[in-house]
Amino acid sequence: MGNIFLEWEFKDAPKSILIAWKNFLVFGLDYFSLPILLRTFFSPWKKYSYSYGGIFEIWKNIETLVFNAMSRIIGAIIRFVFIILGIVFEILIAVSGVLVFLGWLVLPFLLIFGLIYGIKLVSN
């Protein structure tokens, strides 16, 4: 019976923890769409853009240029914010995963140490 517990504690459960950790990391990439946001960083915001007028419509062309530039700047700012949020989320998940994994492996030894230390305190 002890061997089954040890196999579960130190083999099966850590595998499951690593799989869950990987799934959380992949979820963060998909949820924040980090690859897509990086690929379309300077695209216009919500694809809002005007087409340019004829060669002699100078003011319309200037207006279109300014609007399209502003749309790209707004898109880059908003994408930048979401990229930062996604990276922060991924870092938090990575750190949390390391803590959970190491905690899972160390906790049984801390429990045994605590029991031995408690028995020593009571017996003195």
Model confidence pLDDT, tens digit, residues 11-35: 999 999 999 999 999 999 999 989 9
pLDDT, residue 98, reads 97
User: How far is residue 17's CA from residue 14's CA, in Å, rounded to a whole number?
Assistant: 5
For the beta carbon of residue 72, count every other beta carbon within 10 angstroms: 17
Residue given tokens 């089954």 in the structure block:
4
pLDDT band at residue 56, thresholds of 50, 70 and 90? confident
pTM above 0.85, yes or no: no
User: How far is residue 64's CA from residue 33's CA, in Å, rounded to a whole number?
Assistant: 29
Model confidence pLDDT, tens digit, residues 89-118: 999 999 999 999 999 999 999 999 999 999
For the beta carbon of residue 86, count every other beta carbon within 10 angstroms: 19
